[in-house]
Amino acid sequence: MDGMSFTGSRTQYSLRSRAERLISAGRLVLAVFFLLAIWLDPTQPIQHAKTVHTILLGYLGYALVLAAALWNWDVLGTRSKIITHILDLVIFSFLMDITEGPASPFFVYFVFLLVCATVRWQWQGTLWTAVVAISAVLFMAWYPENRLSDPQFEMNRFIIRVAYLAVVAVLLGYMGAHEHNLRSRLSKLAAWPHSFPAEFQPFLREILEHSAEILCAPRMLVIWEEKEEPVLHSALWSSGEFTYLREPFSSTESLVAEPLIDGAFFCSDTRKPRPTMVNKSPGGLQRWQGAPLRERIQERFDIGAVLSVPLRGEHYEGYLMALDMTRMTSDDLALGNIIAHEATTRLDHFFLLQKLRNAAVSEERVCLARDLHDGLLQSLAGAALQLQTVHRLIKDDPQAAMQRLLEIQQLIAAEQRDLRSHILHLRPSTEGAQAIVADLGERLAELAERMKRHRGLRVDLRKDGLGPGISGILAQEIYFIAHESLINAARHAAASAVQIELSTNNNEVHIVVADNGKGFPFHGSFVLEDLIRRNLGPVTIKERVSALGGNLSIESGNTGTKLEISLPLTEYRG
């Protein structure tokens, strides 16, 4: 927003600068040609010729000074503009007064001043300049001598000049008001909010409210259908009130009349028996007669005057309609098309963000399910098996049963710590992430001891600089990979010993897991791409390594299995 406002301010400054330079050039040209005219015909003006010549020479110097000042300063301040404008009015009113009054050839300069006032201050400047100029002409006709009573006074020229000033002032005032209104609308368009609320209805209301402000429309309606779902959506903003509706819809029915489907149009009253539409087509503006809207839509929203522009998004088609506007023009059609383009872009971005959010949530759920499967669920399954053993021993060997219960208690306590670490991992907390990293070595050592105690698997754990550079998320993933590897070695490969080596360098962490089991059903060496393509190897480990952007190779044989994993030292799912 700030950048856009700054750009708009620079543009307005540039336009003001050019306008002032143009006015300065016009002032200079008029002064030169007035002097040239007097030099070519020294008999005019008849009265006060020397005074007029002196004033014009002084005015030429004044115009040169202003032109030089604008060349260096770019633009005049507000007070300087008013002073120069008043000075121009006074000088040429005086020149008119001493040279035939209302019939003076210097009358043309008043038209120049009206144009200057329009450029500088729009219709307000035109109005006040016209009032002063016409008052000056009327004053010259009566004072200090009543020129109206002079037989040689040209009354017809006087009346024509006064009327001419009034008509020019009205036309320039209209142009100034139109330019001011258009500039105001463009400024509002440039200040379009760029926030994206999480909820759809507040987002849609924001679009309609801002569109209504730009178009000066009492009501705004957006109505669209989804390409993949037979549902009609409609949202109405009316004087601060917002309503949103979804209803079943037959896609065979068009929302607007067939000739108006692909273009913008406006109609001053759609309730007439045969209303006339002005629609924009590749050939320009055209007129078409007939009912522009579906009868159900027109009656539901009580549509009279309407300006409609199509919305064509990636997954939807519809129309943005400004209702109850008065005196609509082709400018409104052009502005409506710009607004529709902005609204379509923002709606597409919103839906894309929603898809990305949903995809992120789904991915996070998959990761959570995988983490629980690899950690807590497998440990609970092991605890359930041990409880079955306790159930058999509780009568025959109570002491052994008590020992097994203590081991199960230790297992549950360890899983509680793992679950707590997992919860810390899910929280967006820097302290939690640091705790996971600091606790990684201890957790791996405890995992090795647990596997020996409950699975009879001897684990040789070798660590080499695990702390620096490892994020909390990556530390959690390393733990789960090690856990899954040990479970696979004990359960599926029937291994009695496993060696785990962990090391880091500047860019990667390396994990090597080697066991003395019977290997996978496949034999040979395979990299991650081959494992995925042939659907070989441990699924969860492949998913984790792939999601982390790492590499995996497996060497499997009758005498054991070796996994080599490298993971980049970057934040994952952060």
* CATH number of the domain where residue 210 is located: 3.30.450.40
> Could you tell me if 550 and 494 are in contact, meaning their C-beta atoms sit under 8 angstroms apart?
no
For residue 37, being part of any structural domain is answered with yes
pLDDT value at 299 more than 60: yes
d(CA 284, CA 572): 55
| CA-closest candidate to residue 513, choices 536, 474, 535, 545 | 545
**Domain for residue 433, yes or no?**
no
Average pLDDT of the residues in 134-162: 74
Q: Are residues 10 and 153 in the same domain?
A: yes
pLDDT, average across residues 217-242: 87
- Could you tell me if 215 and 105 lie in one domain? no
- 205 and 131 both lie in a single domain: no
- Regarding whether 205 and 174 lie in a shared domain, the answer is no
Average pLDDT, the chain: 79
Position 391 in a domain: no
Domain containing 159 equals 2-189
Provide the pLDDT for residue 219. 93
Of residues 272 and 158, more confidently modeled = 272
Lowest mean pLDDT, pick from 69-78, 274-283, 457-466:
69-78
pLDDT at 306: 92
Structure-token pair, residue 24:
């300065």
What's the confidence (pLDDT) of residue 504?
83
pLDDT of residue 570: 64
Give every strand in the sheet of 306-312, ordered side by side.
Answer: 241-248, 229-238, 219-226, 316-323, 306-312, 265-267, 276-281, 284-289
Q: Is residue 414 part of a domain?
A: no
Count of C-beta atoms within a 10 Å radius of residue 114: 23
* Domain annotation covers residue 397: no
Note the pLDDT of residue 144.
Answer: 60
Q: What CATH number does residue 476 fall under?
A: 3.30.565.10
Are 221 and 333 part of one and the same domain?
Answer: yes
Which of 151, 170, 189 terminates a domain? The answer is 189
Total H helices, total E strands in the chain: 14, 14
Residue-wise pLDDT tens digits, 95-138: 887 777 777 778 888 888 888 888 888 888 888 888 888 888 88
Cα-flanking dihedrals φ and ψ of residue 275, to 5°?
-70, 155
Q: How confident is the model at residue 467 (pLDDT cuts 50, 70, 90)?
A: low
Distances (CA, A) of 88 to 30, 141, 165, 345: 12, 20, 17, 50
Q: Is the pLDDT of residue 310 over 60?
A: yes
Average pLDDT over residues 208-228: 87
Residues 41 and 142 in one domain: yes
Q: pLDDT class for 574, splitting at 50, 70, 90?
A: very low
Same domain, 151 and 232: no
> Is residue 166 located within the same domain as residue 205?
no
**398 is a domain residue:** no
Q: Please write the tens of the pLDDT for every residue from 337-375.
A: 888 888 888 888 888 877 777 776 676 676 666 656 655
Q: What is the predicted pLDDT for the residue at 1?
A: 40
Answer whether residue 162 is part of any domain. Answer: yes
Greatest mean pLDDT among 194-203, 300-309, 384-393 lies in: 300-309
18 pLDDT more than 90: no
Residue 396 resides in a domain? no
Same domain, 86 and 235: no
Give the number of C-alpha atoms closer than 13 A to the C-alpha of residue 405, restricted to the C-beta side.
Answer: 11
Residue 321: which H helix or E strand, with range? strand 316-323
Last residue within a domain, chosen from 351, 368, 385? 351
Instruction: Report pLDDT digits (tens) over 259-297.
Output: 888 888 999 888 888 888 888 777 778 888 888 888 888
The model's pLDDT over 20-48, given as tens digits with 9 standing for 90+, comes to 788 888 888 888 888 887 777 766 665 67
Does one domain contain both 231 and 308? yes
Are both 103 and 6 inside the same structural domain? yes
Same domain, 37 and 180: yes
Which range in 208-212, 425-429, 474-478, 502-506 is most confidently predicted, on average pLDDT? 208-212
Total domains, the chain: 3
- Min mean pLDDT across 244-253, 408-417, 423-432 is at 423-432
Q: Is the pLDDT confidence value at 151 over 50?
A: yes
From 318, 351, 384, the end of a domain falls on: 351
Segment among 57-66, 124-133, 176-185, 485-494 with least mean pLDDT: 176-185
